[in-house]
Amino acid sequence: MRPRKGSRAICSRCHQPAPGYDQLAERRFEFIPFWGFLVFLLYAMRRVDCRRCQAVVVEEVPWADGKRTLTKAYMLFLARWARRLSWKETAEAFRTSWDLVFDAVEHVVTWGLEHRVLGQIDAIGVDEIQYAKGHKYLTLVYQIDLGITRLLWVGKERTTESFQGFFTIIGEEIASKIAFVCSDMWEPYLKVIRERCSEALHILDRFHIVAKMNKALDEVRAGESRRMALDGLAPVLKKSRWLLLKRQENLKDEQRFRLRDLLRYNLKSVRAYLLKEAFQQLWDYNSPAWAGKFLDEWCRQVMRSRIEPMKKIARSLRQHRELILNYFRAQKLLSSGVVEGLNNKAKVTMRKSYGFRTYRTLELALYHSLGKLPEPESAHEFF
């Protein structure tokens, strides 16, 4: 490739035409392969003596960015395929390297973050996922408006400081207009939400409440099963874990018969199971007032049950009573079910590549898969 005769080079700093200075050695830019053949653009870059910048700099060319060896079209092409395949599979399919696929995704994600429009955000959901061994977590913040769901922010660890970083990014003006926030009962998240979104309706995560209740039930079952084995009693609780944890509509016929026989025994595990099943009726209410009365009565029954793990759950629900009832005040339109679905997609992104070695790589992959970021314009559309 050669520059048009008489054309002036463009300064890569101020993006304005500038007088030429000299010409560098020929460079090679990799383009999208055609029919299995690798394609390269060869061009000798010019340097300009820019009076505005008061410096001698390399010219700006429309097909490449900085010192990258890939053309913009090829980076966009690889990035789109990297959303469908793992990065390693993308590199193997197009006979390139993993590092160049990383560069392509980084270019597209960086451009998308710089050009995305946050607009008005009515509802957000915050949750954490584990991304490595040793209790290493990410804080993920999603926009969960009725018309759009997307990843807004990725933070390292699940601390107060990491979550504060999200509100620093979006600014006070956007944060003040958030009307709904969905989260679990993790105290650092609750603290930040009280400080930064005090006017928003804070809805506690229904999924995590049920998960904690199932964990308490399993703790009761395991402890009672061990005591019965030490006392030499019949092992009626053996292999009963999923009988008690599954919803009744999800049980197989054989499991239903076993559960019916198990419920005849006067065991703590059975009583805890019946309390857990009774709690599910809470989600059928529409009125916050009636839901609150049901919750209060359920907690009273649990506190008289003498089942300590279930009593611990009841104390936690009493402590967060108003936040739980906000689910009904929001007319049951918002819940963190959307957040859990997006978390699953984030886990699939990690699982597809068998994990990522660095936090930066994982951050780029999540933004690329879930951020719904704008993409640079390209003269070439391949799919």
- For residue 56, the cross-strand partners are 49
**317, 230: one domain:** yes
Strand partners, 12: none
Gyration radius of the chain over CA positions: 29
At 234, the pLDDT band (50, 70, 90 cuts) reads confident
Within a domain: residue 88? no
Beta carbons within 8 Å of 342's beta carbon, 6+ residues apart: 125, 140, 142, 149, 151, 370
Average pLDDT over residues 76-92: 93
Closest by Cα among 136, 153, 135 to 192 = 153
Render pLDDT for 307-334 as a digit per residue (tens, 0 to 9).
999 999 999 999 999 999 999 998 888 8
Q: Looking at the structure, do residues 321 and 259 belong to the same domain, yes or no? A: yes
Q: Looking at the structure, do residues 167 and 214 belong to the same domain, yes or no?
A: no
Residues 168 and 216 occupy one common structural domain: no
Which tokens in the block code for residue 28? 């090679």
Residues 61 and 173 in one domain: no
- Could you give phi then psi for residue 61, rounded to 5 degrees? -120, 150
Q: Which DSSP category does 130 fall into?
A: E
Shared domain for 196 and 343, answered yes or no, is yes
- Tokens representing 131 are 């991304």
Q: Which two tokens stand for residue 227?
A: 């005591």
Write out the two tokens for 311: 């009593």
In a domain, 77, yes or no: no
Q: Are 196 and 222 part of one and the same domain?
A: no
CATH of the domain at 158: 3.30.420.10
User: How confident is the model over 212-228, as pLDDT tens digits?
Assistant: 999 999 999 999 999 99
Encoding tokens for residue 188?
A: 């650092």
Q: Which of 323, 322, 284, 281 is nearest to 298 (CA)?
A: 281
Instruction: Among 27, 43, 69, give the residue marking a domain's end.
Output: 69
Beta-carbon count within 10 A of 155 CB:
21
CA distance 88 to 74: 16
- Give yes or no for residue 139 having a pLDDT over 90: yes
Q: Is residue 367 part of a domain?
A: no
The alpha carbon dihedral of 273, 277, 280, 282 has a sign of negative
State which amino acid sits at residue 197.
Answer: C
- Asked, for residue 181, whether it belongs to a domain, the answer is yes
Other Cβ atoms closer than 10 A to 238: 10
Look at residue 101 and tell me if it is in a domain.
no
298 and 195 together in one domain? no
Tokens of 364: 């780029």
Q: What's the CA gap between 337 and 75, in Å, rounded?
A: 34
Beta-bridge partner residues of 143: 124, 150
Q: Give pLDDT, residue 368.
A: 96
Confidence band (pLDDT; 50, 70, 90) for 77? Answer: very high
As a whole number of angstroms, the distance between CA 95 and CA 76 comes to: 16
324 and 210 within one domain? yes
**23 strand-pairing partners:** 46
pLDDT at 382: 66
Q: How many residues does the chain have?
A: 383
Average pLDDT (239-267) is: 90
Structural domain that includes position 324 = 206-329
Taking every pair of Cα atoms in the chain, the longest distance, rounded to a whole number of angstroms, is 98
In this structure, what token pair is assigned to residue 91?
A: 């590199």
Say whether both 285 and 296 belong to one domain: yes
Q: Are residues 181 and 130 part of one domain? A: yes
C-alpha span between 172 and 154 (Å, rounded):
19
Q: Is 30 exposed, middle or buried (0-12, 13-18, 19+ CB in 10 A)?
A: buried
Whether residue 363 lies inside any domain: the answer is no
Domain boundary among 54, 69, 84: 69
**Could you count the other beta carbons within 10 Å of the beta carbon of residue 106?**
17
Quote the number of domains for the chain.
3
* pLDDT at position 22 over 80: yes
CA 206 → CA 190, 224, 258, 313, distances in Å? 15, 27, 29, 13
**Amino acid in the structure at residue 333:** L
Provide, rounded to the nearest whole percent, the portion of the chain with pLDDT above 90.
69
Q: Which range is least confidently modeled, 14-23, 158-167, 188-197, 351-360?
A: 351-360
Structural domain includes residue 182:
yes
Q: Is residue 298 within 8 Å of residue 279, measured between CB atoms?
A: yes
Q: Is residue 92 part of a domain?
A: no
> Does 321 lie in the same domain as 276?
yes
Where are any strands of DSSP class E within 37-106?
Answer: 37-50, 55-58
